[in-house]
A and B are shown apart, each in its own frame.
Chain A
Amino acid sequence: MTSVLVVDDVHASYGRFDVLRGVSLRVASGELVAVLGPNGAGKSTLLKTIAGFLAPRQGSITLDGEAIGGLRPPALLRKGIAYVMQRSSLFPKMTIQENLELGAYVRETTDEVRTDIERVLALFPRLAERRRQRAEGLSGGERRMLEIGRGLLLRPRLLLLDEPTMGLAPLVMDLIFDKILEVRATGTTVVMVEQNARRALEVSDRAYVLEQGQTRVEGRGEELLRSEAVRRAYLGSGTAGR
């Protein structure tokens, strides 16, 4: 399989402080890849760097073989990278419909976009019922669905999700993971950062574990679930890890 995304030895920093200190990963077309690791490992920073909110100080990022490191978010969107940030990023005073329309901002407004909006609403029926209501009235899980749906309106080559289940109740979390699997099933390549390592490993094809800004472990989801080292460090079973 060809790689959609290749991150090679990327270093990135806020000010003088290096957060990423040599991260490498590859994502194949159609894969669902999880990025795990303790707090402060640089997971979110990695997604921000791929999405263009932070420029790599060193190393390269390629999308379908084309170097994209250092490009700004609007340029990356046009190349097909959609990014759902960790914090809530909806426009609360705008309707669900309007939020979705803005997801397709860089596309020409055509019937194709309108069809895509219907498709996203079909994927998230709870949003369809409330499309004329303001986003501020949605529950935490519904907000996440709207954010993911808004990302899909780009018809992305690569969908980046930063902690899509953060702060959600377990049942809602399951629902979000199901939806992410549905999205992957439509052929969208997904990279997600997750705190909930066990569930993330269960649903993903492959995973990377970051620690102190570097890639430490890489493997298939079920392999890592069985790996003693990973269990101890990140899954909270066995002796208490960090």
Chain B
Amino acid sequence: MTAEIVLQSVVSGLMFGGVIALVAVGISLIWGVMDVINFAYGEYLMWAMYLTFFLYAGAGLDPLVSVPVNALVLFAAGVLTYRLVIARVMRGPIFAQLLSTFGLFVLLRYAAWLLFRPDDRQAQSLVSNGVVELRVSTGELVAFVGSVLATTALFWFLTWTKTGKALRAVAQDREAALALGIEPDRLYAIAWGISAAAAGVAGSLVSSFMYVNPLVGDVFLLPGFAAVALGGFGNVYGAFAGGLVIGVVNVTGGTLTMPKVKLALVYLVFLAVLFMRPRGLFGGRRQ
């Protein structure tokens, strides 16, 4: 085992971590704004990958070109999910919310299974076959950069725009926000839209180097949750950092030991952090 291999694995881990970071930010946004865990998040990403694939196979669209299309379609899907499903269960017990997103998870996964069969498919991009320094594939590098850019754009939106500030306000105190004329229902719909759009962007970005099949959501969902917990529930900035950590632990840990145990390592770190800092590495309360 040489230093070069370790370095290589850390770099690869960071590339994967960038995508996980975007996924974690998407999950964390919904949790932070309305205390709902979206179990179907990985399935949004899977559907986004199919959308990318069919845009490629049907219309010859490069996965990178489909990023904005995916973002828009998934934004609409997120708003629709909120309006049709989540808004209706918000007044129910927390189990109703858990079960409804879990139900969505099952529905989206097996609908894909039924429609697309469990075959692997892959779109090809301009960046699919390149390799840059340190043997990072161009596709992974582009996915990393794209994820970081998308996350930065989201942070900018949350920090500086009027709607972004209103979203943070609703997250902190729903009733106080209402007293200022901020309609929580409208902002929840926007949060679902943005969260799903993040999955859309991630789906397009990974399509140039990953196969899509109906189970691919798992690759993102569990590490995404681990990153959210690591970053401190509901803290979108922490979620981003948590994603990078999880990516490196996943790839570097797998390289240093056995690839088979890499997910186990992710959860070992996850449990260790929660054991020592129950609020997460970048703990504290809501942002």
Contact = CB atoms under 8 A, between A and B. Distances in A.
Nearest to A160: B179
Interface string B229-254: 00000000000000000000000000
B176 interface: yes
Given A102-B166, A105-B166, A109-B162, A91 B179 contact: no
Contact of A94 (B162, B165, B183, B285): B165
Interface in B253-287: 285-287
Contacts, number: 60
Contacts of B120: none
A74 B286 contact: no
A138 interface: no
A102 B182 contact: yes
B165 A101 contact: yes
A94 B166 CA distance: 11
B287 A93 contact: yes
Identify which of B169, B173, B181, B183 gathers the most chain A CB atoms within 10 Å of its CB. B181
A98 B175 CA distance: 17
A102 B285 CA distance: 21
Contact of B172 (A77, A83, A92, A103): A92
B162 A105 contact: yes
Contact of A93 (B162, B168, B180, B182): B168
A73 B184 CA distance: 12
A90 interface: yes
B179 A73 contact: yes
B172 A94 contact: yes
A227 interface: no
B165 A98 contact: yes
A106 B180 contact: yes
How many A residues are at the interface, by size bracket? Answer: 20 to 34
A77 B180 contact: yes
B179 A102 contact: no
Contact of A106 (B168, B175, B181): B181
A98 B180 CA distance: 13
Interface string A86-123: 00011111100010011101100100000000000000
Nearest to A73: B178
Contacts of A77: 179-181
How many B residues are at the interface, by size bracket? Answer: 10 to 19
Contacts of B172: 91-94
A73 B169 contact: no
A105 B182 contact: yes
Contacts of B287: 93
A78 interface: yes
A143 B285 CA distance: 19
Nearest to B182: A105
A85 interface: yes
Given A93-B286, A93-B287, A105-B162, A83 B179 contact: yes
A91 B162 contact: no
Interface in A1-60: 51, 53
Contacts of A144: none
A150 interface: yes
A112 to B, nearest CB: 15
Given A98-B165, A101-B165, A102-B166, A91 B181 contact: no
A93 B169 CA distance: 9
Contacts of A90: 173, 176
Nearest to A107: B181
Contacts of B173: 89-91
Contacts of B175: 53, 85, 89
Nearest to A108: B162
B177 to A, nearest CB: 8
Contact of B180 (A53, A103, A109): A103
A85 B176 contact: yes
A92 B284 CA distance: 13
10 contacts: A73-B178, A73-B181, A74-B182, A77-B179, A89-B175, A91-B176, A102-B182, A105-B162, A105-B182, A106-B180
Interface of B: 162, 165-166, 168-169, 172-173, 175-183, 285-287
Given A73-B179, A94-B168, A106-B181, 15 more contacts: A77-B179, A77-B181, A78-B181, A89-B173, A89-B179, A90-B176, A91-B168, A91-B169, A91-B172, A94-B172, A102-B166, A102-B177, A103-B180, A105-B166, A105-B182
List of 7 A-B pairs having minimum Cβ-Cβ separation, nearest first = A89-B176, A106-B181, A77-B181, A74-B181, A91-B172, A91-B169, A105-B180
